[in-house]
Structure 1
Amino acid sequence: MQPILTLCDFFTRSGARSRFYTLGRRVAPCDAETLAAFEAGERAWPAPWLGRAQLACVFQWRPESDPLVWFLSLPLDEQGHLDPAPRDAFLQRLLETLGRTAGQLEDGDEAPIDNLMQDNPLAFTPELTQRALLHARANADFERPASEHIEPVEAFLTGQTPDAAWQALGLQGIADFCVRHDSDQASALAARLASLPVDVLRPLCQCLEHVAPAPALVGALIARGEAAARAGDLETFCACVRAVGHGAGERVGPWYDALLQDSAACGPDLLAAIAARGWAQLEDERRLPLFLDALARQPDEGFVSVVRDLALVPRLRLPLLMTLRQAPSDSAVGRRLSPLHR
Structure 2
Amino acid sequence: MSQFNSISDLLRESGAQFRIFDMGRRISKVSTDQFEKLEQGMIPYPHPYLHHAWMALMLWNTKDKQQNVVWFLKFPLDEQGFLIQAVRDDFLNRLMQNISQMLQKEQLEQSNDALKDNPFSFTPDQEKMAMFHAKSATIIAQPPSQFYTGAKAYFSGDLGWENWATLGYQGIADLVARLDSDNNSAYLLNAIPQLPAEPLSALCTCLEHVQPDHRIAQALQQRLAQSLTQANSTNLIAVLLRGLSNIHNETFKKELIQQTLLSDYADKAEVLTAIATRCNQSLQYPELLSLYLEKLAVSEAGQTGFSRILADLMFIPVMRVLILQAFRNPERSDALTHAIGQMFGASFENGIKK
Structure-1-length-normalised TM-score: 0.90
Tell me if structure 1 keeps the 8 A contact 2:266–2:272: no
Structure 2 letter corresponding to 1:34: Q
What are the superposed Cα offsets for residues 170-218 of structure 1, whole Å, 9 maximum, x if unpaired? Answer: 1111111112112963344123212112221111111112222222212
Per the alignment, in what secondary structure is the counterpart of residue 71 of structure 1? Answer: strand
Which has the larger displacement, 298-307 or 181-190? 181-190
Q: Is 1:94 the equivalent of 2:95? A: yes
User: CA–CA distance in 1 between the matches of 2:161 and 2:193?
Assistant: 15
Match of 2:131 in 1: 133
Specify which of 146, 149, 152 is matched with residue 150 of structure 2: 152
Relative to structure 1, the CA distance from residue 264 to residue 96 in structure 2 (aligned partners, 3 Å threshold; closer, same or farther) is closer
- Give 5+ residue unaligned stretches, structure 2: 348-354
Q: Is 1:312 the equivalent of 2:310? A: no
Match of 1:143 in 2: 141
Structure 1 residue 107, shift from structure 2 partner: 6.3
Which has the larger displacement, 66-75 or 2-11? 2-11
Match of 2:113 in 1: 115
Match of 2:236 in 1: 236
Relative to structure 1, the CA distance from residue 263 to residue 162 in structure 2 (aligned partners, 3 Å threshold; closer, same or farther) is closer
Which has the larger displacement, 39-48 or 181-190? 181-190
Relative to structure 1, the CA distance from residue 124 to residue 98 in structure 2 (aligned partners, 3 Å threshold; closer, same or farther) is closer
Structure 1 letter corresponding to 2:315: L
Structure 1 letter corresponding to 2:307: V
User: CA–CA distance in 2 between the matches of 1:315 and 1:9?
Assistant: 30
Match of 1:57 in 2: 57
Match of 1:167 in 2: 165
Tell me if structure 2 keeps the 8 A contact 1:51–1:312: yes
Q: Is 1:338 the equivalent of 2:341? A: yes
Per the alignment, in what secondary structure is the counterpart of residue 132 of structure 2? Answer: helix
Relative to structure 1, the CA distance from residue 288 to residue 147 in structure 2 (aligned partners, 3 Å threshold; closer, same or farther) is same
Relative to structure 1, the CA distance from residue 324 to residue 38 in structure 2 (aligned partners, 3 Å threshold; closer, same or farther) is farther
Structure 1 residue 144, shift from structure 2 partner: 2.1
Match of 2:78 in 1: 77
Structure 2 letter corresponding to 1:81: F
Asked which structure has the greater RCO (Cα within 8 Å, sep 6+), the reply is 1
Match of 2:24 in 1: 24
Structure 1 residue 259, shift from structure 2 partner: 1.6
Tell me if structure 2 keeps the 8 A contact 1:23–1:54: yes
User: CA–CA distance in 1 between the matches of 2:6 and 2:245?
Assistant: 33
Structure 1 residue 52, shift from structure 2 partner: 0.8
Per the alignment, in what secondary structure is the counterpart of residue 286 of structure 2? Answer: coil
Relative to structure 1, the CA distance from residue 27 to residue 323 in structure 2 (aligned partners, 3 Å threshold; closer, same or farther) is same
Structure-2-length-normalised TM-score: 0.87
Query: Percent identity between the aligned chains?
Result: 29
Alignment RMSD, CA only?
Answer: 2.5
Tell me if structure 2 keeps the 8 A contact 1:219–1:251: no
Relative to structure 1, the CA distance from residue 198 to residue 329 in structure 2 (aligned partners, 3 Å threshold; closer, same or farther) is closer
Tell me if structure 2 keeps the 8 A contact 1:58–1:68: yes
User: CA–CA distance in 2 between the matches of 1:287 and 1:217?
Assistant: 24
User: CA–CA distance in 2 between the matches of 1:259 and 1:330?
Assistant: 20
Give the length in aligned residue pairs. Answer: 338
User: CA–CA distance in 2 between the matches of 1:278 and 1:60?
Assistant: 32
Relative to structure 1, the CA distance from residue 76 to residue 327 in structure 2 (aligned partners, 3 Å threshold; closer, same or farther) is farther
Match of 2:189 in 1: 190
User: CA–CA distance in 2 between the matches of 1:261 and 1:236?
Assistant: 17
Structure 1 residue 264, shift from structure 2 partner: 4.7
